[in-house]
Amino acid sequence: MRYAKALIGYAVDNHVEDQIYKVCKHLGASFRLERRLRGALDNPILTIDDKLKLIKAAADSKGEPCEEFIRFVRLVLKRHREGYLEFISLMYLDLYREKKHVGVAKLITAVPVGAAVEEKIRSVSQRALHAKGMELEALVDSEIEGGFIFDVNDYRLDASIATQLKRIKQQFIEKNRRIV
């Protein structure tokens, strides 16, 4: 948390908080998609320059994040805190969203929804949260069989067919237990 607070303070002072937000978002996704990245950063055989190149590639697909981010990463590497880089980037995202009043939501449906529906959900969620911005991630998961699952901040609205069928099944099981 200490490093994330320092990074957001440094970013605000240099007016690059939006750029670093995008870089941290990409870095967090890279850590999520490639679990061996953390192990590579913890590897003592790799030099600081090699780790820096690896982080640059993971943080920006073009390989060149902003200079302020690179300076921060050099500090992290110098202090041997590269193992915490994933958590630092995730904490930066949280601090940025809190500072800029940005809400986060995820919509999971069985079939793809149109852009108009996504925009309507985004705007309604933004008004409900009193947020200045809203990030909506729309995912398709055929296993929910129909309906939707909507996660916003720390709340979940599960109106999926799969969940409703599970509830009905549980009710039948409970009734049968009482009968027997």
Provide CATH 1.10.520 ranges for the chain.
Answer: 2-97
pLDDT of 93 higher than 70: yes
pLDDT tens-digit readout, 24-66: 888 888 888 888 888 888 888 888 888 888 888 888 767 578 8
- C-alpha gyration radius of the chain: 21
How is residue 175 written in tokens? 């009734």
Task: Give the domain 2-97 fold.
Answer: Peroxidase; domain 1 (1.10.520)
Closest CA to 10 of 77, 59, 70: 70
Which pLDDT score, from 0 to 100, does residue 180 have? 63
CB 110 within 8 A of CB 144: yes
* Domain 102-179 class, CATH top level: alpha beta
Neighbour-count burial of 14, counting CB atoms closer than 10 A to its CB (0-12 exposed, 13-18 middle, 19+ buried): middle
N-to-C CA span, the chain = 55
How is residue 115 written in tokens? 């852009």
Mean pLDDT of 162-168: 90
**CA atoms of 100 and 20, how far apart (whole Å):** 14
Which pLDDT score, from 0 to 100, does residue 77 have? 87
**CA atoms of 54 and 39, how far apart (whole Å):** 12
Which pLDDT score, from 0 to 100, does residue 91 have? 93
